[in-house]
Structure formats: C-alpha cells, structure tokens
Chain A
Amino acid sequence: MSLLLGVVCVPPAVRATDADVAVAWEYLGRHLANDALGALQKSGAPDSREAALAEAVVRIDLQPVTDAGLRKVEAQLSELARGRDEIAAAAAYLTGRLYQVHFFTPDPVRAAQIYAQLADKSPASFWAQLGLVKLMLLRLYVLPEAGDPAARVAAAGALLPRVTQPELQRDALIVLGRGRLFHGQPVAGVLADLLAADRIGGLTGLRRVELQLQIAELSRREKLWEQARVYFERYLAENEVDGRMATVKAKLAEIAAAQRAEGPSS
C-alpha cells in the first residue's frame, strides 16, 4: 500500500526548461547563487547540458566555497567539456579558471595546458579566445618555464595572432604592451601594441582614459611630440572630471616648448 502511495505521489519527471535555466543564469549574473540553485532545483535535477553547466557555475559561486566542492565542480565541468559545442568550450575554459585562480592552491601549468588544448579544439570560440588571453598572462607572469623576461614577452606575443575576436584582440594587445613595459622591453614595442589596441577601440570610462594617457605620456618620453599632443588633447576633450588634467596641461606646455625649440621640422 505504502509503495503504491509512493508511486502515486512521485511527481512526474520535470525537465529543467531553457526558461528555468535562463532564470538561474539571471540570478548568477547578480551573484545570487542560492536563488540560482533554487531556480534549477525547482524543476528537478539538471537534465540538460545547459542546466548542468549552470549548476556547476552556481557551485563555483555558492558560499562557503571549499576546495572539495570545487573538485566536484571540476568533475562536472570535465564531463561537459567532452562535447564540441559552446557549452563544452565554456566548461573547458572554466576548468582552466579553476586551476588558475579558484583552487586554494592554483596549478598554473595545468591551467595553461587546458587553455592551449581548448584553443586547438575550438579556435574560434569566445572561450578559447579568452583562454588565450589568460594564457598570455600566465606566460608573462606565472609559468615557471617561460624563461627570462624577453622570452616571456616573446612567448606571450606568439599567441597574439591566434586571438582574432576584436575585443579580445584589443585586450591581448594591452596585456602584451603592459607586459613589455613591466619586463623592461623597448618602449617602441609597447607603444605599437597600445596604439593597435586603441585602433580597435571600444573601451569606455577609466580604461579608455588610461590607454589615452599611457600612449600620450610614453610618446612624450620617446619625443614623439605630435603623437603625444594628439592623445593628451583627446584626453582633455573627453574628460570633464579627472584629477590629472592639470598635469596633462603642464605636459602639453612642455611639448609645445620642445616643438618650438626643435623648430618647424619637428
């Protein structure tokens, strides 16, 4: 009798619809991991790749985060990464992120391997391209075998042609330019990267301000007066409120004086 009652009372298997999963992602986008988990569990266990990916990401964000919990997430993501779709690429990328920044003891070598494999498997995917940018960071600052600073910059630079999505290519150029500067490489190379990033465009706010100022000031130090002037003036034209305006005006006066001193050919 009780068995019969149990059979009668079991709700029919409910498939987590895309709408349910979308609700969960909406919550995740606002770091409401408990609500996201609730949305996923409301309609039963995850029974689609979309739902499984959402649940894995929930567990990355759900407090308290523990290494043991993250190991379970890694297993879920590794399973998802076996496919060849967008979800597989996202899962592989996130596995790399677990090793790069989430585990209490990171494993940058493992992260680098995952990003490299992902870039070979799905080169055009957003996740593979973003993984290449993260791989550049690892080569510049973290991986033990990357060599001396010049070798690190070269190893990171070798990845640049493979980053083809404009926004990520711009970010990769900034990563490379700033890496060159940090590792004491010639400023001409730094400027070439930053100018290429600026040509791609799309930066707003403080990030745009900083790129403009960096190009302007590094150009001034290289005595590229005209380029420095153009970027400083662009900064002044676009910024009503920034603490550096007075310094920029002083730099522009210095440039004007230098140009006058060098004569009309400068």
Chain B
Amino acid sequence: MRRGKFRLMLAVFAAGYLVALWWVFTRSAPLVSARPVTIRFAHWQIEKGPPDGIRAVIRRYEELNPRVKVEQVEVPGPVYRQWVRTNLTGGTATDLMEFAYWLQGMNDVPVRYFEPLTAAMSETNPYNRGTPMEKVPWRQTFADGLYEMISQSPEIGQVYGATLSQGSSRLFCNRELLKKITGSAAPPVTLADFRTLCAQVDDYARRTGVVLRPLAGSYSNAQWLADFVMFGTLTGMSLELDREGYLARWPWQAQSDYLLGRWNYRRPEVKAGFAMLREFTQQMRPGFSQLSRDDALQEFVRGAALFIYSGTYDATSLKRLAPFPVQAMRLPQPTKDDPVVGPYVVGPYKDGYLGTSFELYLNKHSPHKAEALDFLRFLTSVEGGQLFMDHSGWLSSVRGVKVPPEMEIYRGSMDGHSAGPQYMGVGPYSTMAFWQHLNLLVGPQGSVDKFVEALENGMRKQVTEDARVQIRTDLEAIRAVDTEIAAMNALNRLQAPDPARALRQHALASNQTVAEINEGQAAWVLQRHGYRQP
C-alpha cells in the first residue's frame, strides 16, 4: 500500500516534470532572453488609443520576428521637444522616434539625426505581400503618398519618415443631449443651423437651470476652431497674394508679404474672420483660454457641453470616457451668404487634413537600424495599419486598410480650396503675439478692433524676427546639403558610376538651389525694405 502510494507520487512527479520541460521549451519565456535585439520606439501620442494600437502591432511583429523585441516609449507632449533634442545630442535616443516639421526650432534635426528613407520608399514593402499593395512602392501605400511630409521636408524632395495615421478636426456631439434639447438627433447642416442650435442650447440651459454650453472650451479647442474659421475666410486673400502662381501661400511667403505691406490684420477679411472667431468662442464657457484640452474633454464627457470641436485623435478618448453615444460630424462651413464672413468666402474649402501624420523617423545612429526599419515597414503595412486602427480607433495612414463606416468621417475632404495659412501668426514670434493678445478678442470686454490694434502694435517686429528665424533655419538645411552633393560626386568618381547616385546628386543640387531662391528673396525683403539684416 505504502509502496503503491510512493509509485503514484513518483509518477505524478515524473509527469509534472515532463510537462514542465515541455512548457519551458515550447511556451514560456526563457530565463535568458531569446531576443538578441531590442529596438525602442518613442512617441508623444499618449491619448487613449494609440498606445493600445502600437502594442497590438508589436505583439504581432514579435510573433513574426522572434529575434526582435520592441519597446514602446511614451513621452508626454509638453516635454517631447526637449526630450528629443537632449537624447539625440547625447546619443541616447530611441531607434525610432516620432517627429514633426512644425516642432519649433528643430529644422536641423532630420538632416543631422535621421536616416533618409527615400530609397527604401521607392521599393515595395515586403510585409504587404498578398495584399493589394504588394507591388506598390512603399511611399505610394500611404493615403497621401507622404505628400505632406515631403512638402515640409527641410531638404526638399527627401523622404525622412513614414506616417502612421491621418485625421481631421471634427465636431463631436452628445447625441442624447442633442435629442433632449431639439427633439431630434439630426446634425446641423448649415452654419445657420449651427447658430440656431447654439441659441437653443442657451435657452435650454436657462429654462432647466443646468450648466450647459454649446461648445466645450479650452485654449487648444479654440485654436482648432480658429484654424477652421480663419482658413476658410482667408483663402481668397491667399490667392490674391499669390504673385508666383502656386495657387497657395506658405507662412514664409506670408512673412515677406506682411513686411512688404501686402496684408495686415486691419484688412476687412481678416477682421471678419476674427468677428466669427469671437462669435464661436462665445459659445464656450468663460475663461476657456486658461483651460487645457483635458478640461474641455472632461466638460464634454460630464454632459456640460453639447459639442466639442477637436481632432479625431481625441475620438477614442471621447468614446471610451463618455457615458453617452458620441457622434462625429463636420462643422458646417460658412458660405457666400454668411452674414459675418460671406463676402470673403471663395467657396468650399478643405475640411480636415489631407496629409497623413504621426510621423516616425529612423535614428541614423541606431545600433539596430535594419531591424528598426523592418519594424517600421510592418507598422505601416496593410496588416500593421489594420491592427493599429482596430486597437487605437485612429484612422490608419495606409491604403488598403478596411475603415469602418463610422470612421469614414475622420478623413479630410479633397473637394475644397486649400490655399494658405490661417495668418494667426506666420512664425513663432508672431504666433506667440497672436495668442498672447487673444483675450482682447474673446474676453467679455473684448472686440475685434481692440484685438487688431494690439496685434498691429509691434507685429512688424515680431514678423521680422520670424523671418530671421526662418532664414537661419533654412540656411542650416542649405549648408548641410553641400556635404551630400560632394559625397555623391566623389562616390561616382571613386566607384563604378551609379545612375541612381548621379540622379540623387542632381536632385540635391536642384532642391538646394530652390531653397536658396526662397532664402535669397526673404533676405532681400529684410535687407532692402528697412528691416534688420538676417
């Protein structure tokens, strides 16, 4: 009996041992990592959604690539710029990093620290095998062909990164509340409808005694609203200022235009845009300009505002946090019969961002460049894009990814004018002045005239500083290209001539020359029109 018990125990022990052996060798993580390569990927998209999407992509990538471990590094937006600069300079930066052309004072970063992806972008993405994108060059698999990124590249024509997402600003609505106030969940179709709805909200709040505003308010949300209003109102002015025939105006051109007296904040269309901005921001709670984007989000999810105007990057947060159904809709555009800005409206204008975003760059000093590039390819493949979108709620940048019908509205429209900046500053100094004075427009005692006069007083100095910054950063990028041209030329001298390399040498020279035309014209305006030398 005792011996039988002993045998049973031995059998159980042996079975347990065999199961443990099987588990160790087939399933569990080994004591020493079987993944000799670890790549790290930093970004500032720490809203609800993107980290989940990226985690899902990493999980699948690690299944496919047992050698590689991928770590996601989430860095808060407010410190991201300093974080990037410090780590790149100190040689401790991650292998892949989010970056954007509009990060101020960072124009030199792509050329100095990121690996150009131009050549890789002209090849197909191996992770798209078996999909409709199988034979399409990587660059063309992005919804905008990376047009936006390339057009802003410090080295004209060079592709420095890949994008992960796309989106737009949209009006998000508390549908239950809308129905309660109006008796219908139908969204406003015209701007007149929207104005009527705002009046209904105020009336409802008065009647019921609840704290309720038409629009959730914060400094950031007001900024996005201002983009929408000013862009549409000033399209005609951009086209009028376009002496070169590009059918567009860029901020650096708007700087020269301002210094040459071709426009200022006293122009009637600019003042009309400000009048509409004041009207819209009065639908937000008082003191909104002191509040953050999170404050506005909380105001909306607790039912204290009917709408929130925000980027679709907030859609996932809104849907996960709000205890009511949230519907995304377009904010109706002003038309030619609008009582405030109508005379200056050229026609429908672009609604949302046409370009893709969430730009990811490859650190040229990465010890695992091949693996990081491979992960970037997977992340922006059809499979990777689908995983990212399904788990993040953010629209993927990749063509061929199946978009659910409720997310279609996140896409920007191509059927409107897109001619220039919003003129709420045309560089870092003037932009800061614009927002510092905004209280004179949107505050209770504010007015368009007070705001305009405060802006114009000193704006020449601000725009001059903007132009100087622009010239300085342009020159940094221009200088860097000399080295590359010399290198391409020398390599074709020392090695067998390579047509692709020769083509690159000419493209570099050509793009550098165009950058120097722009820089030369901006410097001419500063020097010859009574402004300080750059």
Which residues of A come within 8 Å of B, CB atoms? 18, 21-22, 25-26, 28-33, 50, 53-54, 57, 60-61, 86, 90, 94, 97, 101-102, 126-127, 130, 133-134, 137, 140-142, 167-168, 170-171, 174-175, 178-179, 181-182, 202-207, 210, 213-218, 221, 240-248, 250-251
Contact = CB atoms under 8 A, between A and B. Distances in A.
Secondary structure type dominating chain A contacts: helix
B368 to A, nearest CB: 16
Contacts of A175: 513, 517
Contacts of A102: 479, 482
A240 B417 CA distance: 15
Given A141-B520, A207-B514, 15 more contacts: A28-B483, A29-B491, A31-B484, A50-B493, A53-B486, A57-B483, A133-B513, A204-B507, A205-B150, A206-B150, A207-B511, A213-B246, A242-B147, A246-B418, A251-B247
Nearest to B490: A25
> Size band of the B side of the interface?
35 or more
B491 A213 contact: no
Contacts of A28: 483-484, 486-487
B151 interface: yes
14 contacts: A18-B494, A22-B495, A29-B487, A50-B490, A57-B486, A94-B486, A101-B478, A102-B482, A127-B489, A130-B485, A167-B506, A207-B511, A241-B143, A243-B354
A28 B348 CA distance: 48
B521 interface: yes
Given A29-B491, A206-B150, A243 B520 contact: no
Contacts of B243: 181
A93 B156 CA distance: 22
A50 B116 contact: no
Interface string B374-403: 000000000000000000000000000000
B454 interface: no
B475 interface: yes
Contact of B516 (A126, A134, A202): A134
A178 B524 CA distance: 14
Given A141-B520, A213-B245, A31 B490 contact: no
B418 A207 contact: no
Nearest to A248: B247
B509 interface: yes
Contacts of B242: 217
A245 to B, nearest CB: 6
Contacts of B415: 246
Contacts of B482: 57, 60, 94, 97, 101-102
B514 A30 contact: no
A32 B364 contact: yes
B78 to A, nearest CB: 27
A206 B510 CA distance: 12
A143 B21 CA distance: 81
Given A94-B486, A206-B150, A247 B514 contact: no
A247 B524 contact: no
B144 interface: yes
B484 to A, nearest CB: 6
Contact of A174 (B239, B347, B514): B514
With a 10 A CB-CB cut-off, give which of B246, B247, B485 has the most chain A CB atoms: B247
A142 B419 CA distance: 30
A119 to B, nearest CB: 16
B14 interface: no
Contact of B156 (A18, A31, A171, A207): A207
Given A22-B495, A181-B243, A206-B156, A31 B483 contact: yes
Given A60-B483, A244-B419, A207 B239 contact: no
Contact of B414 (A30, A130, A167, A246): A246
A241 B246 CA distance: 16
Contacts of A127: 489
Nearest to B486: A57
Contacts of B244: 178, 181, 214
Given A102-B479, A217-B247, A29 B488 contact: yes
A245 B506 CA distance: 29
B210 interface: no
A259 to B, nearest CB: 19
Contacts of A86: 489, 493
Contacts of A218: 245
Contact of A214 (B111, B150, B245, B509): B245
Contacts of A202: 506
Contacts of B488: 29
Contact of B245 (A26, A101, A221): A221
A86 B490 CA distance: 9
A94 B487 CA distance: 12
Nearest to A219: B245
Interface string B231-261: 0000000010011111110000000000000
A86 B494 CA distance: 12
B360 to A, nearest CB: 18
A4 B511 CA distance: 57
B101 to A, nearest CB: 13
Contacts of A216: 245
Q: Which 3 A-B pairs have the closest CB atoms?
A: A243-B418, A217-B245, A141-B520
A33 B480 CA distance: 11
A77 B511 CA distance: 25
A245 B489 contact: no
Contacts of A204: 157, 507
Given A207-B511, A214-B246, A31 B364 contact: yes
Contact of A217 (B116, B157, B246): B246
Contacts of B494: 18, 21-22, 25, 50
Contact of A30 (B116, B145, B511): B116
Interface in B323-355: 347-348, 350, 354
A246 B510 contact: no
A205 B509 CA distance: 15
A243 B495 CA distance: 42
B254 to A, nearest CB: 16
Contact of B491 (A25, A134, A214): A25
B479 A247 contact: no
Contact of A210 (B143, B246, B365, B483): B246
B450 interface: no
B523 interface: yes
A23 B506 CA distance: 21
A113 B201 CA distance: 72
A246 B348 contact: yes
A189 B381 CA distance: 47
B510 A167 contact: yes
A253 to B, nearest CB: 11
